[in-house]
Every structure is written in C-alpha cells, then in structure tokens.
Chain A
Amino acid sequence: MSIFKLNSDKQITLQAIGQKSREYKLRPKNNSIWQKFRIPMSRRHLLKWRTSYNKKSLIKERRLEDKRPLWWFISLISLAGSIPWLSNFALSAVAIFCIYASINLLWSLTLGTAGIFSLATMAVVGVSGYIAATANVYFGVPWPLIFVIGTIAGLIFGGFLALPSSRLDGLYYALLTLGLAEICRVFISQIHALTPTNGSINNVSSFIPEDWYLQRPGLLLGAASSFVLLLLALLIYRLVNGETLGRKLQVARDDEEFAEAIGINYHSARLKVFLISCAGLGFIGAFYAMYFRSISLGVFSLDQLMLLFAMIVIGGTGRAEGAVVGTAIVILIDRGLFELGPMRIVIIAIVMILVTTYASNGITGIREQFRNFRHRFQTQKRSLITTKGGEIMPEEAIDIHNKQIIYSRRFNSRLRNYLKTLINDEVIAEHKANPVGKHSYELTRLLNYFRKAEVPDKYAVAQIGPLKDSQYKIFAFTGDPEKPPRVVDERVYSSKNEAYHAIFLLRVNDLLES
C-alpha cells in the first residue's frame, strides 16, 4: 500500500488534445541551396521567412513569418485587376477610396509615427490644392508642374503648422489645427475673385484630357492614377515607418529617456516625419484638384475631416493596413449604400461606436486582441485546474519541454500531501531543541524535503556583524548567480540555531500553504 496517494475527489477529467497542422509550410529539401533575394539597393529581403524544427516531428519547416506583404499583394492586385470591369459609379468610388486612403496613410504617419495630433490634414490638402489650381488657372503653369507646386505648398504650410507643435501638446494642438483649417476656409471664401464661383476654382487642367472628363476612359484613367497615388503613399509610409526615421521614433515612443541617452534626437525626427507627411498631402492636394478638375471649399469642411477620422478609428491607428481597411469600409458604406441616404452616416457612426467599444485598436487589431484574450483565458483556466488538483493538464504539458518537470510536480505534490501529515507540535519542538544532527523519522523526512528544494527562494542565514556578537537574518536565494540573495524580513536572531529554526518554521508554513 502506498503512503502517497492522490485524493480521489480532486480528480479532474483529462481531454484529448492535438491538432493537425492547418498552416501551409514549406519543407526545405536536404542539401538544397536557398538563394535569398534582396530588394535591390537594400539589405532587406522581400519576404520574412522563418525556418524552425517542428517541435513534434523535428522536421524542418519554413513558413512565412510576416504574411502581411502577401495580403497586400493579393489585395492590391485584385483591386488593380478589377478596375477595367467596374461600373462608372464604382470607378469613381475606387478613385475616391484611393485618394482618401492615401490621405489617411500620410495622416497616420503624423498621428502614429510622429505622435503629433494634427487635425489640419484636410487643410493641408485644401491649401495646396488651391495654390496648385491657382498656379494652373491663373498663371498658366502646365499640369505636370503643379504637382511640384502642390508638394512645396504642403511642405511650407506644414512648416508653419509645425512651429507650435513643440509648444502645445495633445488636445490644445488639435484644437489649434482645427482652428487653422477653419481660418483657411473663411479666408478663401472671402476672396473677391472667387465669389462668383462660390469660392471654388474650376477648369483646372489635368492628366485626364478635358474631353474624357466624366466619360468612361476618363474614369478609368482617374481610377488607375488614384491607384498609383495609393501605391506612392504606401511606399512613403513604408520608407518612413520601416527605416531609420521610424525606428528611431519607435525607440523614442517606448522610452524617451533611453532614446536621448543613445543619441536619438526625438524632436527633430518627429518634425521630419511631420514635414514629409505634409509634403505628401500637398502632392495629394494637387492631385485632388486635377482629378476633379476643380477645387471647392468643401475640402475644408468639418464633415470631411470627421469622415477621415471615422476611417482611421475603424481601421486602427499606427499601421498601414488600418488606414486602408478603415477607408475601404467607410467608402463601401458611403458609396455602396448610397440609396440609404443619410442613414448610411448613421451606420458609419454605429460601426465606429462598435469598433471603439469592442476592439482596442480598430478592426486590424482584432486578431492580436483575440490572441491575447485566448492566452489570458487559457492561463486563468489552467491556474484554476492546477490549484484544484495540483496535476498538469495535457494542454499544459505540451508547453513543458522537459517532461521530468511534469513528473516531479506530480511526485512532489503527492509527497507534500504526505509530509503535511507529519507536521505536529512535537516535530516542531524537536527541531527547536536541536535544529541539526540526528532526528526522528518524521523530522528527517521533512528536513530532507526542505533541503533538496530548488535554489530559487531557498532560505539561507546571513551573519550580520562580526562573529563575536553577530546577529542573524534570513535571506532567500534568487537562483540567478548574478543576482544577490534578498532579505526575507527584518527580524534578527541572536543565534544561528534560532535562525535555523525560524527557517524551518517558514518552510513548514510554505509546505502547509502549498
């Protein structure tokens, strides 16, 4: 008959686990050479692969660690491929989507990467658009050149916007930029020359020939160029966010003091990103004026800005796919449900509220959020089972590499159950009288268990002061040879035997609580 047994009422049902692999993984052949392709002029690889040994089969498996480039590729190709087959209405929707997505990408750089809370995004687009249109209509600058004018205008306007950014922060700066946008709108509406057209500039010459305008070829060209615009915006986003500048800011966002310590100039990097973003928005302003062959005060309106805001919130900030997916959803509702009239704005609002309520970082953050949630759920459930029965569940065992640990836990849990029955006043009195040397069976068993414990949190006596009149404190080891032991409590003992006994009592306590 065994003295160790598991209490039967603590048994728990064990379930079968194990899953077939659902992810497609490459299996590199033995002795094969892997020619790794790099993006020309860079040290980067096109795709990020990771090869590891399958923990169960030990077979070498190569999988795409970052699948986002793949999704981007599929989405962009299907969008581009679908353009010739779309209706005229859909074509204009695609173009609007591309333009807004581009604006949102650049705005994300300001908001996410640079961390500048500017709401003057549409103001930059508008002002640059107006200046570009003016240059074309009133000064006869040919259309290809007004891209340059728009970009420069955006850059200069951005420079002005940047000035107060180091002074003001957060909400105040946001309000300031909002006010600036309004001033721009009022300023333009007050220009006498534009009064007849109600503030808009029309007949801007464009990359779309005049006689194609609003015709199928014109719409096709418009959609295609907007698509190219989106690609350019994505490229800028990638270059800023993924290269030196973005990485510096990433470090700075995580720990500003550390960033400064290693010589990162946080403020200048922020400013650079903001200016790049504004210049890009200026380019889009010129594109905007040309695409519509006109520009009106509507570009400054608050509802435009709010729509953009909805896109970013729904998609999720701080990532390119958030800006693009958010734009796509809002445009789909806005254009696809055109028949519903004002109701679609309500729908957008509802979607926005749902996303902000349930998703911590927009729709594109849901996956990660779900994983975290599952992990938390799993940990809670497991810790509940472990405290109940002290046994390791099959689903927990898969995470424990050394199976000896699993057995040790079972063994020690049963051993502890037995040892607990040995603790009584007699044993404690015996130890107090003589902490070292020959002991009764019961005390020997307890001491052997205590002394064999793993080093982390194992107790030790520390001698304080010279031996002659020394006192003793209790320390505990960390288990890490680099980290010194910690003081357990402030109590001091006048003899080593007293300290030994205090340790014994601590250990008995730990055992009873386990």
Chain B
Amino acid sequence: MGKIRINGYCDPLNVKADEEIDFMISAENTKAVSSKIVRIAHGDENPLGPGFIENEVDSQFPDSLKVNRQFVQKGAFAKVEDKQDVLSLQESFTIFTFVRPNHLNGKRQSILGKWNINSNQGYGLGINPDGHFEFWMGNGTSVDKITSEVQILEKTWYFLCVTYNHKNSKVDLIQKGKINRYNSHFGPVVPYDYDSHISETFRLNINECKFDSDFIWAGATDFNKARQFFVTNLYNGKIDQSGIYEKVLSESEINTLLEGQKIHNENLIACWETSLGYTDDGIDDIIKDSGPNSLDAIGFNRPIRGMTGWNWAGKNDCFRLSPEEYGGIVFHDDALIDCNWKSNFKWKIPKNLPSGVYALKLNCKDIEEYIPFFIAPKKPKSKIAVLLPTFTYLAYANEHQPFWSPNCQTVTGHSPTLMESDIEMLKLAEFGLSTYDHHSDGSGCCFSSWRRPIANMRPKHRLSAMGFPWGLGADLSLLWWLENEGYDFEVITDHDLHKEGLPLLESYKVIINGTHPEYYSERMLDATEDYLSNGGRVIYSGGNGYYWVTAIKEDEPHCIEVRKLDYGSRSWQAFPGEGYLISTGECSGLWRARGRAPQKIVGIGLTAIGMDECQPFERMPDSFHRRVSWIFEGIGEKELIGDFGLVLDGAAGVEIDRYDLSLGTPPHALLLASSHGHSDNYPLSSEDIFFSLPGIGGTEEDRVRADIVFFNTANNGACLSIGSIAWSSSLPINNGDNNVGKIMRNAIDAFSTEGELPGSKYVGDEKLWR
C-alpha cells in the first residue's frame, strides 16, 4: 500500500453563521478519513510560546468522511461549446491565428484544434516536440501532418495559417513573422527570416476523420480510465485573433488576414476576436466569436488577458486605451485557479460558533490535514476586531521560491528550513503557484486562488524560506494573546472587508491588523481610510502593509490578481503594457506608485526586508509626551521593548516600516519608538533607491528601522502603527506577560473606550524652563 496522502480545500474561505461551506478532499491510499472541526487557538509549535493549541467544537460535523482520489486539471486553456458540430470539419478549410509561443519545452503543444490524443482523431494546429509549427489530422489509425520549415523563435509573434483542399488533399502551412519594434523579444535588427510556406498533399482526407473531442485553445483532449477526459499537450504562450473558414482562402485574402483585417463572408465558421469584451473594469474568461455560429471559447484556469497583442504598437500601455491592441491571451501549462473537485461535505455554519479561525481536521493513521477557514460574526458584537489579511495569505499560497530562486537565501540571510510538507508538496507539484513564483516560461504568476490545497496556509506551517511562521501561523500568535488576556474580540478577513467595506469596520471601536497585510484592494484601502477619518481607531501592527494593488473580480472572491510593476520588492515584473488588472481595470503595482503610499493612511510604510535577526524597539523622545505617554505606562525610560519573540528573538524585524513625511506620514504624527542595529541583510527597500548606491544596509543607513507611530484623526479617531512583522510573534513570550503585550494592552484598552483618548487634551504649546 502506498503512502497515504490527504489534501483539501474549502470554498469559500470566509463564512458567517448559517452560511454554507464546501470541503473538497482528495485522498490517496485510503477510502475514509476521520474528521472534526477544531478552533485554532495558536499555531506555532515554538517551545518558547504556548505551542500548537486546537479546541474541538460542538459542530454537528460527521466523525468521518468518505474520500477518494481527485485529480487536478492544470494548465490554462479554453474550450468551445460546439453544439452544432460545425468545427468537425469535413471539407476544405482555412484556419488562421496569431501566436507568440513563449516556451518550447520539447513536448507537443496544441494551439487550436479538435484533437483527441488517446484516439488519434480530429485535427490540431500546434507545435511539435522539435519546436516547429505543425498541423496534423488523424482518422483513428493513421495521422498525417505538415510541418513548417524553421524552428520557432520563442517570444516572437507569428501569423500562422493552414489551408486544406478536400478535393485533392492539398495542404498549405504558412508562417509569417509579425514582429515590430515593441511586441517581441527581439527587434528588427536581428536578421531572422521568420517565414515559411510549405505545400504538401496529404494521404488522408479530412472526410475520413472522426471527431470525439471538444475544440480547445491551448491544449488537446486525452483520456485515461482513472481521470476520464482531461486536457494535455498544453501550450505556453499567447494566442491572439484566430478564425476558421470553410474554404481555401486565396492568397490575397490570406494577406488581408495577415494585416489583421477581418474577412466576414459566407464561408466564415468562426472569428474569435480576442480583443472583444474589454470594459473599463476589465474582462472575463470568455473569448468572443463574432462569426455566425457564436462559438465563444470559455477559459479554464484563467488564461491571462489584458496582455499585449501582435499589433501592440507600444504607445498605449493599457487595454482601456486601445483594446484592439490587447488581443494577446496568455496560456500557461502550470496555471491553476480551480481544482474543480467534487465537494465531500457541505456544512452549514452553526449559530453557536463564535467568530475565529477554524479548521476541518482530517486524520488517517498518522497523516493529518488541516483545512482552515474563517468565521466572521454575523452581527458584530465586540468592540475589537482583528482583520486577518486573507488576500496576502492567497498571494503567498504554495510559495516555493527557495526551490528555484538563487536570490532567496541572499534576501533571507540564511539557508531555508524545509518542513516535510514542503518536500511533499513539491513532489506533488500540482497545486499551483503563488504570486511569488514563475510559470514554466519564466514569467510571473499574477493569479492565486483558494480553490486548491494550500500547503502553507496551515496553522503549524513555517515558511521554508524564512524558517518561521508566516501569515496565518504568525497571526495566530496575536489571536492567542488577545484570548489569553481575556479580550472580547472578533475575527474578520480581507474578503469580508472588500465585500462589506466601511460599514463592517464601523461596527467596531478598534481594528487590529494582521502581521503582514501586504496585498490590498482599493475598496479595502478606502474603507480603512474612511474609518480612520470618521473617528475609527486602528492598530496597524504589521510590516509591509498596503503595498501591492490587488483585486478580485466582483463575483469571484477566490481568485486575487496582482501585477508586479517596475518598482518595489518583487519576485517578477510584468512585461511592458501588461500592468493593468483584468479584475478591475486599474493599474497594479505599488499603491505608493499610484499616489497612495501606506504612510498616508497609517503613517508608516515599508523600508527594509531581512530575515536573519530581529531587534528590540527603543523609546523615542515623543513617547514621553503626555499625548501618548499612556501607551508606555509601565515601560521604563530606557527599557528595550521586545528583545524576545517567537520569530528571530525580537519584536522589530522581518519586514519593517518607517515614518516618512516625504511620503505622506501625517504631519502631527509622533514617532514613539524605533528599532536600531539591523544587520546589512536589511538593505533599504528598492523603491527608495534612485541611484544604486553602496552603504544602504542596516548598519549604514538610518532609514533602515522599524517605527512605532501615533497620530490622532478627526472625531476622536486614532492610529497606532507598529511597523514590524515580528511584533505579534513577541506577544506570547512569558505567557503573554511582557512589555510588547503591555503596550498592546495600554493601546487596546484606551482605543476600545468610548470618548476622547487619554492624552488628547495635551495640545498646548510646551512652555519649558529646561
């Protein structure tokens, strides 16, 4: 018997009482798993802290679930619903397309076609294992093919056209380079002759061909007993404007198509206009056919749109300016948005469960799997809410940079620590990428979704690159501390905030952020900003927040989108002209680049990243002002704050934020405390570097520090910002009784009290004699 494997996910990730949640599970080598719902109180198993704590809850959930193996269809492709069967060609035809193959991988890649690999039936236009364009068709026993003359050059636009005459089986395969000064990897100075025109006579006639599969973009159908029908021969690259005619087009007609003009005549079967469907708010997954049969292609695993087409002339950098230049749809063979597994159990959230972090715990022998989910209150009752950054959890989902990025150890400043699950997940290598990973063609991954197992969004997980808890695992330390201190609080998520906006925040006196709220949508930023300016109180206790412009489509919260642009700490960079989000139509990149640096909202923003050691905070002179000195009640004048912690033994570090008036920190903000003594593995963040200079490490650059900043807002509002990811991980030390906790307690107690804040009267001029 093989190794038992259990993987699963839930949909949605965030729920409220009376709402339903589906659990999708795949298990190998077992038919049943024991199951129970647990409330997660603490995640990190670090012996310095409380350890892993879970509490079983009364949940009316079955004790065991029947499970089976579920398969993952990876790869982006699009399927045409051809109900009238007009794409089962039986006579003469012409198929044309504009393509930009991005990666020749030594395997066959199908671009367009109705091809069944298993039965050798149908036809297909694609790339052969040698890297040549090829058209093939088969009748089940024999396959005939025509191959273009020269090998394809990667990342180069081609016009590709095949004509077939059913009277004499004459086939022409025409390939023309369509490079301009902007659209391809190389420009016109490289003296390639991209063109090829082959003419041959097939032995096979198309009317001998049978069809038993769908018409697919960027893949072909295959079949096996266990998986049934699935799509493989996946294509890596762009496909633009394409079409099919039921006759052999003349040379002049082909030349018309070659110039990008359309021919709508009675012979047209399908004319896929890849640039149709754009609005100011983006585009969906449907590739529109403007021909007589309306053969729209539906994208699976989200083929990437908003990408430049063959005719991109370089002037317009957004599909909103010139949709007709944005017909390039990118397909990746390793894209995964939705596993589409069958639900093993649909569960209605009982009314009695308080808001919090929960998980479905599955066991079989010694193998366990936690599928975490978040219950937000149906009607907020507490004064305090913790806002868990679920957008950021998704952004990092299944991240595995140490396995491919040579820079990873340089950034973290130490060797990665692999957990068994990291190795296991990599062996499976099938649950998709994070927005930090690269697709097989080297380009960055811009989508991430919860509809797939996420190995690193598990309570005990420690991120391999860092070797300590990250995201959910780190945020649980904050939740444990609040509970341990006896606070009445509720848990809400980014997804709740994005959906409900300001009213959700206004139900609370205090909002406490998670450790790393890096990925933010405009709505989330707006709500936070409005909450603060209307008198809300925010404890932003985290690092590198409000950084990337992130979005979800209106009805698809499971999938976030981000395009990393020309500056900021980024593991990839979108190609020119491809920086706008198809989910909303807005420009992605850093919020700072769009005029909304995090300093403008919470007073601080990213200044440095390092993962070798953390430092404590030291009080700054402003902390002695009566406006804020209540925050430091019980803290000595020279006391080091947080010279301990579950993460690298300190409260200031990992990713740290600083006060900066030039970036919009409110002018009345007070600098209460700062860290000192960071190593050179904390270099100043790249968006602050205009000329590449030496001496930007933590031992030489004064901007490398974590700051604690306070400012009042209108209507008794206030913001306390503590710019360090490691902060909350210091809370559990000494069972929560420590000076980091003391500051949090002072702040939370005052923030959750109605009326004016303690020091707000001290606004007079200081008449000092000393």
Contacts and interface: CB of A to CB of B under 8 A. Distances in A.
Whether A and B are associated in the same complex: the answer reads: yes
Contact of B427 (A34, A484, A496): A484
Given A460-B416, A468-B45, A438 B699 contact: yes
Contact of A36 (B192, B199, B406, B418): B199
A444 interface: yes
B467 A496 contact: yes
Interface residues of A, number: 55
A455 B403 contact: yes
Given A435-B414, A463-B417, A481-B400, A52 B200 contact: no
Given A436-B613, A451-B413, A484-B423, A462 B149 contact: no
Nearest to B143: A43
B195 A31 contact: yes
Interface in A468-505: 468, 472, 475, 477, 479, 481-482, 484-485, 496, 499-500, 503
Nearest to A469: B47
Interface stretch (A53-61, A94-102, A197-205): A53-61
Given A51-B149, A52-B151, A453-B406, A467 B198 contact: no
Interface in A1-56: 28, 30-36, 38, 41-43, 51-53
A467 B45 contact: yes
Contacts of A481: 400, 403-404, 426, 429
A460 B416 CA distance: 5
B693 interface: no
Contacts of B378: none
B47 A467 contact: yes
A322 to B, nearest CB: 28
A38 B197 contact: no
A295 B241 CA distance: 74
A463 B419 contact: yes
A437 interface: yes
Contacts of A451: 409-410, 413
B402 A34 contact: no
A461 B415 contact: yes
Interface in B367-414: 400, 402-407, 409-410, 413-414
Contacts of A381: none
A196 interface: no
A414 interface: no
Contacts of A479: 404
B85 interface: no
B566 to A, nearest CB: 22
B32 to A, nearest CB: 25
A30 B195 contact: yes
Contacts of B404: 455, 479, 481
Contacts of B680: 438, 444
The B interface is mostly helix, strand or loop, or mixed, namely loop
Nearest to A434: B613
Contact of B199 (A35, A454, A496): A35
B203 A36 contact: no
A288 to B, nearest CB: 38
Given A34-B149, A481-B429, A455 B416 contact: no
Nearest to A472: B417
Contact of A60 (B46, B150, B405): B150
Q: Looking at A62, A435, A464, A484, which has the most chain B CB atoms within 10 Å of its CB?
A: A484
Contacts of B699: 438
B22 interface: no
Contacts of B429: 481-482
B667 to A, nearest CB: 35
Contacts of A462: 417-419, 423
Contacts of B196: 34, 51
A466 B193 contact: no
B203 A58 contact: no
B180 interface: no
Interface residues of B, number: 57
Contacts of A59: 191, 193
B612 interface: yes
A401 B46 CA distance: 48
A396 B410 CA distance: 31
B191 A58 contact: yes
A484 B418 CA distance: 11
B121 to A, nearest CB: 17
A36 B699 CA distance: 70
Contacts of B423: 462, 475, 484-485
A387 interface: no
B679 A38 contact: no
A147 interface: no
A151 B149 CA distance: 44
B629 interface: no
Contacts of A485: 403, 418, 423, 426
Interface in A353-387: none
Contact of A468 (B47, B149, B413, B677): B47
Contacts of A496: 417, 467
Contacts of B756: none
A260 B677 CA distance: 68
A48 to B, nearest CB: 12
Given A33-B197, A453-B406, A455-B406, A460 B418 contact: yes
Contact of A500 (B145, B191, B200, B414): B414
B741 to A, nearest CB: 23
A455 B405 contact: yes
A461 B198 contact: no
Given A30-B193, A33-B197, A60-B150, A475 B418 contact: yes
Nearest to B197: A33
Contacts of B405: 455
Interface string B186-221: 000011110111111101000000000000000000
A509 interface: no
A303 to B, nearest CB: 48
Interface in A407-448: 435-439, 444, 448
Q: Looking at B142, B402, B414, B460, which has the most chain A CB atoms within 10 Å of its CB?
A: B414
A458 interface: yes
Interface string B148-179: 01110000000000000000000010000000
B201 A38 contact: yes
Contact of B193 (A34, A60, A438, A467): A60
Contacts of A167: none
A41 B680 CA distance: 73
A130 interface: no
A485 B416 CA distance: 12
A452 interface: yes
B149 A438 contact: no
A459 interface: yes
A290 B195 CA distance: 58
A437 B460 CA distance: 26
A32 B613 contact: no
A1 B769 CA distance: 58
Nearest to A29: B193
Given A58-B190, A437-B679, A461 B45 contact: no
Contact of A463 (B172, B403, B406, B418): B418
B637 interface: no
A460 B417 contact: yes
17 contacts: A33-B197, A34-B197, A35-B199, A36-B199, A51-B150, A53-B150, A438-B699, A451-B409, A452-B407, A458-B406, A462-B418, A462-B423, A463-B419, A467-B46, A481-B404, A500-B415, A503-B415
Given A436-B413, A439-B679, A467-B460, 10 more contacts: A52-B150, A53-B150, A436-B414, A438-B680, A438-B699, A452-B409, A453-B409, A459-B415, A462-B417, A482-B429
Interface of B: 44-47, 51, 142, 144-146, 149-151, 172, 190-193, 195-201, 203, 400, 402-407, 409-410, 413-420, 423, 426-427, 429, 460, 462, 464, 467, 612-613, 677, 679-681, 699
**What 10 pairs between A and B have smallest CB-CB spacing?**
A467-B45, A437-B613, A451-B409, A436-B612, A451-B410, A438-B679, A462-B418, A51-B149, A461-B417, A36-B200
